Structure 1
Amino acid sequence: MDIRHGRRNAPRRRGRVRFVLEGVEGLAVLAATLCTWPLSKRWLKNWGSSPAERGRAWPGDRYVAVEHDTRTRAIDIAAPAGAVWPWIVQFGLDRAGFYSYELLERLAGIPVTNLESIEPSMQSVAVGDEVRLHPKAPGIPVAHLEPGRSICFGESDAAGSAASRPDPARSWSIYLEPAAARSCRLLVRGCIEPLREPSWRKRLSLAFDGPLDFVMEQRMLRTIKRLAESRSPDEAGQS
């Protein structure tokens, strides 16, 4: 916590110019992704990840049924995992935001402000807590937490009754893997079960989910990378 003249600094938000430029980029990336998705989805669904990372069994995988589709996206960060984790743990609506295209988030009806500072008041999260993604949708529960390494969202009882589970059921997880000295891999992995009761509405929604997830997740990964790498060594050591 930075204190100056006895008062805590206000949370740092992205400036108006960055908001506009990133918004224009987001609209362009979204348009290009939608147009090319039938050809590019095989690569974009696993953007930045290695075959070993895609084939590995991750903690969040167990929160969906054995049969599921996965997407694994990753990025290298030139900062230790301990310097990246504080950005991850404060993720969510009414928290630090989603680190993605704020303009697109607002167009989707999400009144979010993505912070560019680590907030001590947002560093606490526990299994069972719910993190909200949209003001009109229920929160997603934290099913698994390993501080400094991973946070997984999903229904903790993958074998629960079908009536009590979303259709399709999903899990979504963020992982940090230490790499070389003072660097790490940041991964986002999503798992989704087949539809139990297919309908044209659900199929249409899933058809758009793929490209939208790529657009927002790649920007989230790149933003967290920028924020973590821009901190000074002294600041990183205080995380």
Structure 2
Amino acid sequence: MRKTNFGLIAGGLAAALAGAVAYVVLLRDKVLTWGATADEVSRSLPGDELIPDPDITATRAIEIEAPPNRVWPWLVQIGSGRAGLYSYDWIENLLGYDLHSSSRILPEFQNLGVGDVVPLGPHGPRLRVESLRPGESLVLRGEDEPWSWTFALTDVGDGHTRLVSRNRFATGEPSAKTRLRNLAVIEPESLVMERKMLRGIKERAERG
């Protein structure tokens, strides 16, 4: 019985390790750079200096058939108790974030300023506005964790905008368990939610 249990455990660990290796080699770059060009991934963005040595950097992007001034209002109103995150609300709310994505621009949340707090739930992370340039960039920083989140808008002509979202996390000296969790859960999960968010912003901005 002990040998059988040991074999099952060893087999499970080997399968998990093989899966992690395959993810790193075949999928990780795609997960962390969905929609972004090589230039968007490599270039510096406002807020990069806040987390100089990140353990995870995700740069994702989408092209929107609307000028930056039509995309910007949707960005500045994000947050819990505000306009939501335009992602899968039902998943966010299972985690207790109390997010309800708005389908319209809310004037009461348009005057975001440096130092303002963008909550991601009653008991979730709180992000503080570090800098913003209307129509160009919005930089948020975690109050209680080493996390920066930058949105950058680039006018690419013909009334189109490139929206780039960059997350940088520093986890310090993570254990093997934490690293495996990041690879197997956190990174793929962030892709699912952020891809939906970027598409949600695109749909709203293009709809006008």
Structure-2 residue corresponding to 1:128: 115
Give the alignment partner of residue 210 of structure 1, picking from 187, 191, 196: 187
Q: Does 1:109 align with 2:90?
A: no
Using the alignment, how far apart are the partners of 1:40 and 1:130 within structure 2? 34
CA distance change for structure 1 residues 42 and 90 in 2, over 3 Å: closer, same or farther? Answer: same
Contact 1:126 1:145 in 2 (8 A): yes
Structure-1 residue corresponding to 2:197: 220
Deviation at 1:69, TM superposition (A): 3.6
Contact 1:143 1:155 in 2 (8 A): no
CA distance change for structure 1 residues 65 and 155 in 2, over 3 Å: closer, same or farther? Answer: farther
Give the alignment partner of residue 70 of structure 2, picking from 83, 87, 92: 83
Q: Does 1:64 align with 2:34?
A: no
CA RMSD of aligned residues (A): 2.2
Q: Secondary structure at the match of 1:215?
A: helix
Structure-1 residue corresponding to 2:172: 196
How many pairs does the alignment contain?
186
Using the alignment, how far apart are the partners of 2:79 and 2:52 within structure 1? 26
Using the alignment, how far apart are the partners of 2:41 and 2:70 within structure 1? 24
Give the alignment partner of residue 137 of structure 2, picking from 115, 135, 150: 150
**TM-score, normalised with respect to structure 2:** 0.81
Structure-2 residue corresponding to 1:183: 160
Deviation at 1:202, TM superposition (A): 4.2
Deviation at 1:173, TM superposition (A): 1.0
Contact 2:96 2:124 in 1 (8 A): no
Using the alignment, how far apart are the partners of 2:49 and 2:151 within structure 1? 14
Deviation at 1:130, TM superposition (A): 1.1
Quick check: which has more Rg, 1 or 2? 2
**TM-score, normalised with respect to structure 1:** 0.71
Structure-2 residue corresponding to 1:31: none
Structure-2 residue corresponding to 1:159: none
Contact 1:63 1:155 in 2 (8 A): no
Using the alignment, how far apart are the partners of 1:91 and 1:130 within structure 2? 11
Gaps of 5+ in 1: 1-35, 157-164, 232-239
